[in-house]
Amino acid sequence: MKVPMPMVKDVAAEVHAYGQLLRGFSPADITEPGADDPGGDIRLQMFETGWYKVHTGSPDYDQDHRGYWGVSWVPVGVTRRKSRAIARELIEQVLDDIAVVEEGGRMQ
Protein backbone atom coordinates (compact mmCIF):
# COMPACT_ATOMS: atom_id res chain seq x y z
CA MET A 1 0.00 0.00 0.00
CA LYS A 2 1.31 3.45 -0.88
CA VAL A 3 0.60 6.02 1.82
CA PRO A 4 1.62 9.58 0.90
CA MET A 5 4.20 10.79 3.42
CA PRO A 6 4.50 14.36 4.66
CA MET A 7 7.58 16.35 3.77
CA VAL A 8 10.37 16.21 6.36
CA LYS A 9 10.50 20.03 6.47
CA ASP A 10 6.80 20.24 7.42
CA VAL A 11 7.10 17.73 10.27
CA ALA A 12 10.41 19.32 11.36
CA ALA A 13 8.71 22.72 11.64
CA GLU A 14 6.21 21.24 14.08
CA VAL A 15 8.95 19.46 16.04
CA HIS A 16 10.94 22.70 16.30
CA ALA A 17 7.88 24.74 17.35
CA TYR A 18 7.14 22.22 20.11
CA GLY A 19 10.74 22.33 21.37
CA GLN A 20 10.56 26.12 21.53
CA LEU A 21 7.18 26.01 23.28
CA LEU A 22 8.70 23.79 25.98
CA ARG A 23 11.03 26.66 26.93
CA GLY A 24 8.06 28.29 28.66
CA PHE A 25 7.80 25.50 31.23
CA SER A 26 9.78 24.86 34.37
CA PRO A 27 12.29 22.01 33.78
CA ALA A 28 10.87 20.26 36.84
CA ASP A 29 7.43 20.17 35.17
CA ILE A 30 8.61 18.59 31.92
CA THR A 31 11.42 16.26 32.98
CA GLU A 32 10.47 12.62 33.33
CA PRO A 33 11.66 10.96 36.56
CA GLY A 34 15.12 9.53 35.93
CA ALA A 35 15.65 11.53 32.74
CA ASP A 36 18.72 13.70 32.28
CA ASP A 37 17.23 16.45 30.14
CA PRO A 38 13.86 18.19 30.05
CA GLY A 39 11.71 17.70 26.99
CA GLY A 40 8.47 16.19 25.79
CA ASP A 41 6.95 13.30 23.88
CA ILE A 42 5.95 13.77 20.25
CA ARG A 43 3.99 11.44 17.98
CA LEU A 44 3.29 11.46 14.25
CA GLN A 45 -0.06 9.92 13.27
CA MET A 46 -0.47 9.17 9.54
CA PHE A 47 -3.57 8.14 7.66
CA GLU A 48 -3.83 6.31 4.33
CA THR A 49 -5.07 9.52 2.71
CA GLY A 50 -1.78 11.30 3.43
CA TRP A 51 -3.34 13.45 6.14
CA TYR A 52 -1.28 13.55 9.32
CA LYS A 53 -1.39 14.96 12.81
CA VAL A 54 1.40 15.67 15.28
CA HIS A 55 0.53 14.91 18.89
CA THR A 56 2.57 16.24 21.81
CA GLY A 57 2.67 15.61 25.53
CA SER A 58 1.34 12.56 27.29
CA PRO A 59 -0.02 9.82 25.01
CA ASP A 60 -2.67 9.15 27.65
CA TYR A 61 -4.75 11.93 26.04
CA ASP A 62 -4.66 10.53 22.48
CA GLN A 63 -8.25 9.55 21.67
CA ASP A 64 -7.83 8.55 18.01
CA HIS A 65 -5.68 5.46 17.58
CA ARG A 66 -6.25 4.92 13.85
CA GLY A 67 -3.54 5.07 11.23
CA TYR A 68 0.20 4.59 11.49
CA TRP A 69 2.45 6.00 14.17
CA GLY A 70 5.95 7.26 14.87
CA VAL A 71 7.07 8.25 18.39
CA SER A 72 9.99 10.29 19.66
CA TRP A 73 11.14 12.76 22.29
CA VAL A 74 11.95 16.47 21.79
CA PRO A 75 14.44 18.31 24.01
CA VAL A 76 13.67 21.83 25.21
CA GLY A 77 14.97 24.37 22.69
CA VAL A 78 15.64 21.73 20.02
CA THR A 79 17.78 22.99 17.13
CA ARG A 80 16.49 23.08 13.56
CA ARG A 81 19.04 20.40 12.56
CA LYS A 82 17.92 18.09 15.36
CA SER A 83 14.28 18.85 14.49
CA ARG A 84 14.88 17.54 10.97
CA ALA A 85 16.53 14.40 12.37
CA ILE A 86 13.55 13.79 14.68
CA ALA A 87 11.13 14.36 11.79
CA ARG A 88 12.98 11.82 9.64
CA GLU A 89 12.91 9.35 12.54
CA LEU A 90 9.14 9.81 12.98
CA ILE A 91 8.50 9.27 9.26
CA GLU A 92 10.73 6.17 9.21
CA GLN A 93 8.80 4.74 12.15
CA VAL A 94 5.52 5.37 10.31
CA LEU A 95 6.90 3.49 7.29
CA ASP A 96 7.92 0.62 9.60
CA ASP A 97 4.43 0.60 11.14
CA ILE A 98 2.87 0.41 7.66
CA ALA A 99 5.07 -2.60 6.89
CA VAL A 100 4.02 -4.33 10.13
CA VAL A 101 0.33 -3.81 9.34
CA GLU A 102 0.80 -5.07 5.77
CA GLU A 103 2.46 -8.24 7.15
CA GLY A 104 -0.51 -8.80 9.43
CA GLY A 105 1.44 -8.00 12.61
CA ARG A 106 -1.00 -5.37 13.83
CA MET A 107 -4.61 -4.50 13.17
CA GLN A 108 -5.28 -1.02 11.95
The pLDDT of residue 71: 95
User: Residue 50 in 3-state DSSP?
Assistant: coil
Calculate the average pLDDT of the chain.
Answer: 89
Residue 57: which region, alpha, beta or left (left: phi > 0; alpha: psi -120 to 50)?
A: left
Residue 59 has pLDDT above 90, yes or no: no
The pLDDT of residue 15: 98
Is residue 25 within a helix (H) or strand (E), and if so which, with residue range? none
Residue 90 has pLDDT above 90, yes or no: yes
Record the pTM: 0.87
Phi, psi of 101 (to 5 degrees): -65, -45
